[in-house]
Amino acid sequence: MATILVPGGAGFIGSHTVIALVNAGYDVVIFDNFSNSKPTVLERLKKILGKNIPFVCGDIRNREQIENVFEQYKIDGVINFAGLKAVGESVKKPLEYYDNNVHGARTLLQVMREYQCHNFIFSSSATVYGEPDSVPLTESSPVKRANSPYGQTKIDIEYMCQELQIAAPEFSMVLLRYFNPVGAHESGLIGEDPKGIPNNLMPYLCQVAVGRLPHLNVFGNDYPTPDGTCVRDYIHVVDLAEGHVAALKHCLNVPGVHIYNLGTGIGYSVLDMVKAFSKAMGRELPYKIAPRRAGDVVQCYADPALAKKELGWSAKKNLDQMAADSYNWQKNNPNGYDD
Ligand code: NAD
Ligand code: UD1
């Protein structure tokens, strides 16, 4: 079976994908600098998988460190989760975001070329679609100029992959556009553990649920949606992880640029999520209506038909399971990996 290098494999989506890869029979090497994760995740993975997963501590911007991995292991493909992802922070630190994300991805691709490894899967985002003209979004919906440096790094890396694939046609470039990943592994041993006050809805709800924050601020209830709050395509991280395995099976050693939306195809509002979370907790989650957040898109959900047709993959878990698994993770780990 193929050996897959997973930069960013200690993070939220990466750690869940490592489990899916190992369960599907792949050999995995995790590479991470822990800039947004903790070494504890490796122990948790060992507990879940019953074995140690090879790990190298390093930075994707450091060519020598990546070359050392390729010297040590025969790597068949790379799934790159390593990146900075806080939209607001990226506005304040654009150069750091271009350096970490774009320069990091470029360095990885250079080393891959040097070692004749031609399979690259990239964590892109629905943010490349900007404010959609219409929903659901298909892969051929227009990619717009991003409204943050973070989003622009995703667009830049997508273009870089496409341009390299023209110059080096042996590459299989898989660009996976995630919608809104939430939930956690059913064991409650791994999950999302953001630093500081969360920016995103689900980790915020989780921290309200365990009393770390007093209430949720719902950013605007006067949008042109059924209940006035914004609509998103929330997808369980375990489904998302399986989407990577399906993409790997379908695209490994198939040269070309392969672009897929990974979402459920269902749009839920902020208040739908609050209801599902309250159900998971068994009591009402406190929330207040607050002003709109600058830069929010009104509604964003996928047409996931292409992934179903070509990869044979579709999301299985519903909103209640997303809320229940997120809550289970946070309840068992009120302070995340710091316990
Ligand atoms: P995360 O922060 O939990 O995981 C990213 C991991 O990469 C962390 O473990 C971090 O320490 C590591 N990392 C960052 N920069 C690195 C570097 N230079 N060298 C080595 N390791 C580095 O984030 P996540 O939610 O798991 O997201 C993974 C990827 O998916 C990111 O690229 C993100 O932009 C993308 N994405 C995430 C979402 C989301 O909502 N979570 C949505 C769309 C796309
Ligand atoms: C955010 C990013 C987007 C990124 C995506 C994936 C912004 C402006 N956009 O998108 O670029 O690709 O995450 O991680 O940050 N909400 C509240 N209260 C909160 C938090 C969120 O009401 O405390 C609402 C938001 O207004 C939104 C929904 O919940 O309507 C989801 O928000 P969030 O989880 O931040 O995801 P996105 O807005 O989709």
Distance 59 CA to ligand 1 centre (A): 12
Q: Is pLDDT of 339 > 80?
A: no
Copy the structure tokens of residue 89.
Answer: 């922070």
Active-site entry in 26, 97, 98, 150:
150
Looking at the CA of residue 179, tell me the nearest atom of ligand 2.
6
What pLDDT digit, counting tens, does each position of 97-107 carry?
Answer: 999 999 999 99
Q: Is pLDDT of 246 > 80?
A: yes
128, 154 contact by CB (below 8 A): yes
Sign for the pseudo-dihedral over CA of 31, 204, 265, 325: positive
Mean pLDDT value of segment 184-204: 96
Distance 102 CA to ligand 1 centre (A): 13
Instruction: Enumerate residues lining ligand 2, CB below 6 A.
Output: 87, 125, 127, 151, 180, 199-201, 204, 216-219, 230, 232, 270, 293, 295-296
Please give the DSSP secondary-structure letter assigned to residue 295. T
pTM of structure: 0.98
pLDDT at 53: 98
What pLDDT digit, counting tens, does each position of 46-55 carry?
Answer: 999 999 999 9
Distance 229 CA to ligand 2 centre (A): 12
pLDDT at 47: 98
- Residue among 81, 123, 200 whose CB has most ligand 2 atoms within 8 A, to mutate: 200
Can the peptide bond before residue 136 be classed as cis, meaning omega within 30 degrees of 0?
yes
Q: Is 26 noted as a catalytic residue in this protein?
A: no
pLDDT category, 144, cuts 50, 70, 90?
A: confident
* Mean pLDDT, the chain, whole residue set: 97
Q: What span, in angstroms and rounded, lies between the C-alpha atoms of 129 and 138?
A: 10
Sign for the pseudo-dihedral over CA of 95, 197, 241, 320: negative
Q: What span, in angstroms and rounded, lies between the C-alpha atoms of 46 and 35?
A: 21
Nearest CA residue ID for atom 1, ligand 2: 200
What pLDDT digit, counting tens, does each position of 270-280 carry?
Answer: 999 999 999 99
Percent of the chain with pLDDT over 90: 97
Nearest listed ligand to the Cα of residue 127 = 2
